[in-house]
Structure 1
Amino acid sequence: MYVSIYTVENPRDLFGKVHGNKCQQVSIQFQAKMAAVEVHNPDDILKRFSKLLQTGELSDLTLKVDGQRFRCHRLLLCASSDVLNTMLTSRLWPEGRSDIVVLREDPECAAVFQHFLEYLYTGQVTLEKHNVLPLLTLADKYNVPSLSRSCLNYMVDACCPATLKYILHWLQYAIICSYKNLEEKCMQFITANFDDAVCLADFHQISRDVLIAFLRQDDLVVSSELHLYSAVKRWFEANIDESSEENDDLFYIVMKYIKFPMIPLKELIRLENDSIASHSKFFLQNIFCALKYHTGTKMDFSEDLLKQLKERERFQPRVYVTETWSTEIIVENVSRLAEGEVRGAFFSTPGSYAEIDQSCHHDWHVMFYPRGVVYSDCQMISWMNCLQNPGGKFQTVRLALSTHCQKRRKFRITVLVMGPCANGEEFVFTAKTTDAIFDSDCTLFNYDNIIPYEEVLKKKSPYKINDSIKLKIVIRPEFQQMKA
């Protein structure tokens, strides 16, 4: 835009110009660039749409959900959901020719349907642990992918003790709908905190397949196999049908995954008077087999049974967080630690889970490096020449374990990193497992990246309890196959 400005040296000459007098005119031109201004007031629009839903003004459709009536606007519903668009515009659907549409929803979904509509109108909703699964169910049913993504992200981030009772239901829904990321997150959390999960009132509501998925895991974190057996027994008793002839089948299906050889001998003997003894075939094949394992008696069962036992990995222990198989390291005031500072522990584990091997032990020396590993400079001397090693720093959270084995032996090392609950209790925030092999020549194993190094430096981290790191280290000897 070009603007001309006239500069008048004497205002009186303006009148002279009118009268024909000569005057001097100076014209100066400049280019003024006007910037575009974008007006962005989405909140105003959202308030208008929200008001339309609240007042029902100009509504042309009524939705009936479990006795509730919602005065809606066909245009907005169709624009927000492909499913509703097809339902409300197609003449092939009876809803497309009616001003009153009845939607059949589960009670949990009906209870949050108002919030679902608010999202369709405004794109906003408050997600909480008790409403996120019903909202996800509605979002999937009516194909609202943006809401589905938000619900899934919330669930993944909300796996903690406060939501444990809901995680069981989230897991089952994730499996049904093939939400692999959510399924993996829920499985990991429940697996690491299974003792707490089995104590929930809703535990018996999980499906048989979900229960078996947990029971098949060797990395299941439990206090003992007997505790796990008691939990599975309660689940079975809550799910039996007195009029069904398939109760025995259900019993065998779930109980066959219990690792009876991992139950201590004195506790195993007590099971003889348990209700399990009524299943005589099961009792003979499993309890008797476990008794032989503990006493070191030669396994002389049939090949079919041995094959079954091998497939179930009956003799491979789980992660039992007892003093017998684990130790604990607590590092306080982590932020004040110097680089390379180390904390240590010393403990022993039995030679195996069999009672006959309890007198044999493996001694473990554990060194924990929460602030990385620092190597000092040194001189390497050889017969040819001397080399100077400048040293260095490695930003890793390392656990170094050492033991002495005369023969080659494989162990499973599991590190549980504890996190804080809102009520002051603790839970397993993350569990990491790896295999390590020791023999007379290999006596040291370094397990790096136990915790992301950057998390140690943060003031607040889910890997820390206040300014402390608490680890539980469980070491399991690999089962050495017994021969018939």
Structure 2
Amino acid sequence: MAGRSDFESWSVLMRVVYSKWFPTLPRHNYPPPTQLPSTDTTTLPRHNYPPSTQLPSLDTTTLHRSRIFRSAARESCCSTGVDKTNCCDGFKMTNPCSSAAEIEFNNSDSVLQKIGYLYSKREMTDVTLIVGNQEFPAHRLILSVSSEVFQQLLFDDLWGSWVQIEERLYQNYSVSATEGEEIVLLGSSYAEVMLTNPHWAESQEKRVVLQESPACASVFEEFLQYFYTGRIHINPEVVVSILTLADKYNIKDLVKLCGDYMLVHIPHAAVNNHLVSWLQYTVQCRHFQVAQACVNFVKWNIDLVANASDFGDFEPDMLVNLLQQNDLVVHNEVTLFNYVGQWLALQRERLANEATNDATDVDAHMEVLLEEVMANIRFPMMSPRQLADLLLSPLTKHYKEIIVERMAIGMSFHAGQKERIEEVLSEEEGRLLFTPRLYKAFSWSSLLSVENFPSLASYHSRTLVFSSHSCLAEHAGDHVCEWVVDIYPKGVWFKKFFLIVWQGTVEVPENVLKTVRLSVTCKDLPMEGEMRARVGILICGVQANVEHIMKVVERNHRFSRDDMVLNFDDLIPFDELNKPLVEMLGSEQTSPYLTGRNRDILKIHIVVAPLTDICSMTFPQFSFK
């Protein structure tokens, strides 16, 4: 650019830059310097510019390299996924680069491993939890993030007043502080707000003593490790202890995890003597979903529960609550009477082993228990022969006066003594005594089995025919009804047909229902021409390798000559029962509703119990108090 004026040199440089960076911009023909209008320099502000000899010379080679560097920087920003709107040495791009190569990495496992390393190596701990004879160094930050209770224990005001928001267990929660460096946390119940120490952060030697039950103390290390790793080992023996700690310290995610585990392992708990403790804890702590699942299992599988060693652990109030349920599945009422007698024997043995009780106190307490539970045994549902045989029972001989009085209600019912029946009906829950349960005895029900279920063709059915009594009381006669049961486990197909009417014929198109249908047809009505009955469908299945009754569907219906068929649709989820053959080849994918050694049998009990005007037509709900 030698021989040119400064202005001409700058004009040429700008044209080169614009043509290289912005090729689409319009080009301007700047006039030569001689054509520019003259300007009065006297009105412009004066600046003290340095002498021309001190100005750096403009090297075009450096300018070219700078342009190349900026272009390369833009390409690098595009390829590495950095901010495209403010890249290239501060130059803001007006046309952001594509984000197709952007990748989000998840390295959370590595972070959890580092946090778990802090616990395993006991590094940088600032609090010690003392449980029994064991000490657990921990980190206040980790404890506080995981538990609101620990957060308030470690950071809030210890010397303030008690505030209690909610209490989930029957035992009160308390905190006491020693004069030294320890804070003692007492009790095993839950409270959301706790008293804490404002001076905690001033000392790194603080110690917290937690008073836990032996069962909870045995799993406390596993429980504490969950704070750091999110991992914990659960089995039926320890799940209640872990859930107790999770409730006490308000670890909501662990509470949900324990609840989900219990829902799928209830049968396993029943055969391993843990179900009663599961039920009573979840009822007390209001874990309603798990509690209802436990209640259903006990009601529908009382034979299995009564033979477990923990059957005697039922609290009297809970056992009475169960005996009031209409959908209790049992062979007959005599069997239930024997189960109650078995429970009473266990209570007597427990009372006798307590040093504070003498023989007189045990007998008095047992009479109270006997009256409480026997009031819910439905003696009218026993036949006169069964009532007579009951007189030979050892329990009846020992408490003859109490039990014979209850047996007399049954004899009055079968003899048709209306005045005595009216007296009983006037009592609270009196109608329940004259209401049948879901009895599996042959005079009430029958079993329908579909063997080799996978080979059953679609839309095919299986049929069962059986008979049952049409009335409850013996004085009403011994008439029986014949029932025809049809099961369509693989859908229902209505073929196209023509209906003949007085105008001509009407074509009815075919229809396919993707449902599991069971139809109950009354083939022999009583002389009155109608019959009211409670129809119960008991569906067997396998869960946790335990065969049991998984589902119960019941309905009250009035059968008549105009309405002789009762249909149950969607008895079982269609897709859950009819899994594809590829899935059924593996045992883990087999439908839980298939039983037998090869898991290829569908078992369904059908119960038909007649109803009268004095029966309870409602379905009492289990009381979660």
1:457 aligns with 2:587: no
- Letter matched to residue 410 of structure 2: A
> 190-199 or 92-101: which moved more?
92-101
| 2:409 aligned to which of 289, 295, 298 | 289
Seen in structure 2, the aligned counterparts of structure 1 residues 448 and 233 have a Cα distance that, compared at 3 Å, is: same
Task: Map 1:180-191; keep pairs closer than 5 Å.
Answer: 180-191=288-299
Report % sequence identity: 30
The one-character-per-residue Cα deviations of 1:88-127 (angstroms, maximum 9, x if unpaired) are: 2235163345622211111111111111101111222122
The one-character-per-residue Cα deviations of 1:344-374 (angstroms, maximum 9, x if unpaired) are: 0111112234445673111011111111111
> 240-249 or 134-143: which moved more?
240-249
Aligned counterpart, 1:142: 249
Query: Secondary structure of 2:274's match?
Result: helix
Query: Secondary structure of 2:335's match?
Result: helix
Give the superposition deviation at 1:167: 2.6
1:428 aligns with 2:428: no
Aligned counterpart, 1:376: 495
- Letter matched to residue 333 of structure 2: E
The answer as to whether partners of 1:419 and 1:464 remain within 8 angstroms in 2 is yes
Aligned counterpart, 2:55: none
Give the superposition deviation at 1:247: 3.4
Aligned counterpart, 2:566: 445
Give the superposition deviation at 1:81: 1.0
The answer as to whether partners of 2:374 and 2:403 remain within 8 angstroms in 1 is no
Query: Secondary structure of 1:313's match?
Result: helix
Query: Secondary structure of 1:338's match?
Result: coil
Query: Secondary structure of 1:301's match?
Result: helix
Separation in 1, partners of 2:118, 2:143: 12
Query: Secondary structure of 1:195's match?
Result: helix
Separation in 2, partners of 1:324, 1:126: 48
- TM-score normalised by L of structure 2: 0.69
Give the superposition deviation at 1:285: 3.2
> 366-375 or 234-243: which moved more?
234-243
The one-character-per-residue Cα deviations of 1:301-334 (angstroms, maximum 9, x if unpaired) are: 2854342386251121111112221111111333
1:156 aligns with 2:257: no
The answer as to whether partners of 2:126 and 2:137 remain within 8 angstroms in 1 is yes
1:417 aligns with 2:534: no
| 2:122 aligned to which of 56, 69, 85 | 56
Separation in 1, partners of 2:416, 2:108: 77
Separation in 1, partners of 2:498, 2:374: 61
1:351 aligns with 2:351: no
Aligned counterpart, 1:217: 325
The answer as to whether partners of 1:218 and 1:317 remain within 8 angstroms in 2 is yes
- Letter matched to residue 57 of structure 1: E
The answer as to whether partners of 1:64 and 1:101 remain within 8 angstroms in 2 is yes
Query: Secondary structure of 2:433's match?
Result: coil
The answer as to whether partners of 2:452 and 2:600 remain within 8 angstroms in 1 is yes
The one-character-per-residue Cα deviations of 1:33-73 (angstroms, maximum 9, x if unpaired) are: 13255443222222222232223222222211122221222
Separation in 2, partners of 1:302, 1:312: 10
Aligned counterpart, 1:81: 147
Task: Map 1:32-71; keep pairs closer than 5 Å.
Answer: 32=75, 33=78, 34-35=80-81, 36-71=102-137
Cα RMSD (Å): 2.8
Larger Rg: 2
Aligned counterpart, 1:132: 239
| 2:225 aligned to which of 100, 103, 118 | 118
The answer as to whether partners of 1:417 and 1:430 remain within 8 angstroms in 2 is yes
- Letter matched to residue 542 of structure 2: P
Seen in structure 2, the aligned counterparts of structure 1 residues 283 and 167 have a Cα distance that, compared at 3 Å, is: closer
More strand by share: 1
1:172 aligns with 2:292: no
Task: Map 1:260-279; keep pairs closer than 5 Å.
Answer: 260-274=379-393, 275-279=395-399
- TM-score normalised by L of structure 1: 0.87
1:208 aligns with 2:312: no
Tell me how many residue pairs correspond in the alignment: 461
The answer as to whether partners of 1:162 and 1:421 remain within 8 angstroms in 2 is no
- Letter matched to residue 418 of structure 1: C
Separation in 1, partners of 2:239, 2:477: 49
Give the superposition deviation at 1:337: 2.7
Query: Secondary structure of 2:391's match?
Result: helix
Separation in 2, partners of 1:201, 1:456: 34
Aligned counterpart, 1:11: none
Separation in 2, partners of 1:311, 1:173: 30
Separation in 2, partners of 1:268, 1:354: 13
Separation in 2, partners of 1:387, 1:303: 56
Structure 2 stretches of 5 or more lacking a match?
Answer: 1-19, 22-58, 82-101, 160-176, 178-182, 184-196, 352-358, 585-589, 616-625
Query: Secondary structure of 2:427's match?
Result: helix
> 355-364 or 469-478: which moved more?
355-364
1:102 aligns with 2:209: yes
- Letter matched to residue 420 of structure 1: V
The one-character-per-residue Cα deviations of 1:401-454 (angstroms, maximum 9, x if unpaired) are: 11132432111111111113666x621111111122111222111111111111
1:479 aligns with 2:598: no
Structure 1 stretches of 5 or more lacking a match?
Answer: 6-17
Query: Secondary structure of 2:434's match?
Result: coil
The answer as to whether partners of 1:350 and 1:357 remain within 8 angstroms in 2 is no
Separation in 2, partners of 1:376, 1:187: 43
| 1:470 aligned to which of 578, 591, 603 | 603
